[in-house]
Amino acid sequence: MNINMSLRANKAYCKKAFTVQELVVSLVISSIIIGMMYTLYIHVNKQLIGYNDDQRELMIFNQFRQVLCKDVLLATHIELNNTREFTIVFPNDSYSYRITKNSIIRNRNNGFKDTFNLEVTQIELTNDKVEEMSVDKAIRLHTRLMGEEIILFEGKTGSNANRINEFYLNEH
C-alpha cells in the first residue's frame, strides 16, 4: 500500500504543461503576427484616408461646377471685375465670385455665401467657338484637381436669331 500511495502522489505531481521554451516561441510568433496585422491596418487606414480626401475634393469640384453651370446658363452677361473676382449678372440679380488662395466664395445679394475649397489659378472670359458653336459668354477657370492642372469651361450659346442678326448687322 505504501508503493501505491507513492505512485499516486507522483502521478498527481506530473501534470501536462508547456515548457518555458514553448511559451517563448509562441509569444514570439504571436508578436510577429500582431505586428504584421498592425502594419497592415495602418497601411489600409492611410489608403482609406487618402481615398476619402480625393472623394471629398471631387465632390466639392462637382458641386462648384454644377452651381457655376446653372449660373452661367441663367446669366445675361458675365463681368470680370479683376484678376481674382468676377460677377455673373441675371435679369433681376447678380452673384459675385471672389477667388482667395484656396477657395472660391460665391456672394449672393440676399446675404448668403457659398464657399468651395478649390484652388483657382487663373480666370478668363472668352467668346470661343466650342465644337463650331458660337458661345455668347463663357468663363474659363484654371484649377487643380487631385494634383493635376485642369481647365473648367462653362459657356452659354446664344440663340440662332441673335447669331443671325449679329452676322448681318456686323457685315455692314
- 110 in a domain, yes or no? yes
pLDDT of 163 reads 65
Asked if 154 and 69 touch (Cβ cutoff 8 Å), the reply is yes
pLDDT value for 66: 93
Q: Is residue 26 part of a domain?
A: no
Domain count, the chain: 1
Range of the domain at 150: 44-171
Instruction: Report pLDDT for 124.
Output: 82
Residues lower than pLDDT 70 in the chain: 1-14, 127-136, 158-160, 162-163, 166, 170-172
Q: Concatenate the DSSP letters of all residues of 119-164 into one string.
A: -EEEEEEE--EETTEEEEEEEEEEEEETTEEEEEEEEEEPPHHHHH
pTM above threshold 0.75: no
73 lies in some domain: yes
Would 84 be classed as within a structural domain? yes
Q: Is residue 129 part of a domain?
A: yes
**Which residues partner with 149 through β-bridges?**
144
What pLDDT, on the 0 to 100 scale, is given for residue 147?
83
Residue 32 lies in a domain: no
Listed in sequence order, the residues at least 6 apart from 162 whose beta carbon sits closer than 8 Å to its beta carbon are 136
Residue 143 lies in a domain: yes
Write down the pLDDT at residue 25: 95
Q: Say what the pLDDT of residue 13 is.
A: 61
In a domain, 36, yes or no: no
